[in-house]
A and B are shown apart, each in its own frame.
Chain A
Amino acid sequence: MEETESIAARSAGQEELYRGAAAAFGASLGRLARAYEADAGARRDLLQEIHLALWRSFESFDARCSLRTWVYRVAHNAASSHVGRQRRRRAVMLESLEDLEAMPDRGEACAPDERQALDRLLALIQQLKPLDREVILSYLEGMDAASTAEITGISAGNVANKIHRIEQILARRFHEGEPHG
């Protein structure tokens, strides 16, 4: 009897945690899914996969890290597993930030409108290797280097270094040729 009550209490706690996380981070998870999957149908599937992973993970939430760190780790890890499966199926090559930095621009550097900028940003993110993708997404979501380091496991110094590279790449690809003044 006690065991049944404890299972019911755990299950209610799991649901409550999930609902709270989905309400607080739902929009951000939607953007994250978009950054990991270009195909609209597969993206809906990925988003559901992320939510399912989150719901299942709350079965044993231990509050050893913040809710935000927990949610982002689950989301990134579930999404990068998805990318790994797709990569094996479609034989897609992924690049590192260092590779992107070394690549010559393809005459795209001009001031695009918001829609074009977003499309190009998504295309750029979708070709990155998992860890670099996690760093750029945390950066775009407005997280600082310490929070990104806690989620990804990369040192804060290394995250700061990667963010510096990201800023240079974004500046080169989205602002060159923009009229000044």
Chain B
Amino acid sequence: MDDMKDVWQKQAAENATVSLEEVRRKAGRFRATIFWRNVREYSVLGLLTAWFGLYAWRSPFPVMRVGNGLTVAGLLYAGYQLHKRASAAAAPADLARKTCLHFHRAQLERQRDALRGVWRWYLGPMIPGLAVIAVAAGIAGFERSWSAGLAVVLFAVAGAMLYVGLGRLNQGAARRLQGQIEALDAIEKEPK
């Protein structure tokens, strides 16, 4: 099999050098990418918070104000969790201190935990606020007419089904990742 090693090692080098200046430029671009990604994510969160916050402040119905206020609290909590998870990214030296097996396992674990806990940190915190808004909108709808009330109920049921579907998709993905983690554990446990 040495001839395959020869073929591999003698392959024509394809512009393989990277200068220190290029690395520094890449570091700058990397920081800029992270900065703009954060701007994007926090802007969406800020806009949603402003939208629900405005309704919490301006709505003439007290129940609606409570629902919107709870949604703002849920959004802020999800934002805090997003920030916490983004800051917990691997330190540069982790890439070298962890063997490939441990690094790969840690990455899978991080993804699995994010997916598994999606109800706790992302979908769940919005439920109280959205549920109160749905109830308030339903009451207002039925006060106006049966058809308006029914439309709100159907809309709320569709939203709840979408929510449950999203949760199930995430749990399924988390289970698949758990399978991969167990396969890596089995490799690690094999005799030396």
Which A positions have Cβ atoms within 8 angstroms of B? 15, 18-19, 22, 26-27, 29-31, 33-34, 44, 47-49, 51-53, 55-57, 59-62, 64-65, 70, 73-74, 76-78, 80-81, 84, 114, 117-118, 121, 130-131, 134, 139-142, 150-158, 167, 170-171, 174
Q: B145 at interface (Cβ–Cβ under 8 A)?
A: no
Whole-angstrom distance between the Cβ of A41 and the nearest chain B Cβ? 12
Q: Which of B5-13, B48-56, B113-121, B153-161 is the interface stretch?
A: B5-13
- Count of B interface residues, CB-CB < 8 Å: 38
Complex Cα spacing A60 to B16, Å? 25
Q: Are A52 and B7 in contact (CB under 8 A)?
A: no
Complex Cα spacing A148 to B17, Å? 24
Q: Are A130 and B93 in contact (CB under 8 A)?
A: no
B22 partner residues in chain A, CB cutoff 8 A: 48, 51
Whole-angstrom distance between the Cβ of B91 and the nearest chain A Cβ? 8
Q: B99 at interface (Cβ–Cβ under 8 A)?
A: yes
Complex Cα spacing A101 to B192, Å? 23
Pick the residue among B4, B11, B23, B107 that contacts A55 (CB under 8 A): B23
Assuming A18-B23, A48-B26, A121-B4, is B100 touching A153 (CB within 8 A)? yes
A55 partner residues in chain B, CB cutoff 8 A: 20, 23, 27
Complex Cα spacing A174 to B13, Å? 22
Q: B98 at interface (Cβ–Cβ under 8 A)?
A: yes
Q: Are A141 and B27 in contact (CB under 8 A)?
A: no
Q: Are B96 and A57 in contact (CB under 8 A)?
A: yes
Residue in B closest to A80 when the chains form the complex, CB atoms = B104
Q: Are A174 and B187 in contact (CB under 8 A)?
A: no
A171 partner residues in chain B, CB cutoff 8 A: 1
Q: B85 at interface (Cβ–Cβ under 8 A)?
A: no
A33 partner residues in chain B, CB cutoff 8 A: 16
A26 partner residues in chain B, CB cutoff 8 A: 16-18
Give the A-B contact count at a CB cut-off of 8 A: 140
Residues 67-95 of B, flagged 1 when their CB comes within 8 A of A and 0 if not, give: 00000000000000000000000001101
Pick the residue among A27, A60, A117, A155 that contacts B190 (CB under 8 A): A155
A57 partner residues in chain B, CB cutoff 8 A: 92-93, 95-96
Complex Cα spacing A59 to B17, Å? 21
Residue in A closest to B25 when the chains form the complex, CB atoms = A48
Assuming A121-B4, A167-B1, is B93 touching A48 (CB within 8 A)? no
Q: B37 at interface (Cβ–Cβ under 8 A)?
A: no
Q: B103 at interface (Cβ–Cβ under 8 A)?
A: yes
A84 partner residues in chain B, CB cutoff 8 A: 107
Q: Are A18 and B96 in contact (CB under 8 A)?
A: no
Complex Cα spacing A131 to B186, Å? 13
Q: B15 at interface (Cβ–Cβ under 8 A)?
A: yes
B41 partner residues in chain A, CB cutoff 8 A: none
Complex Cα spacing A130 to B98, Å? 15
15 contacts between A and B (CB under 8 A): A22-B17, A30-B16, A31-B16, A34-B11, A48-B22, A62-B93, A64-B97, A70-B96, A77-B95, A121-B8, A152-B100, A153-B100, A153-B102, A157-B192, A158-B187
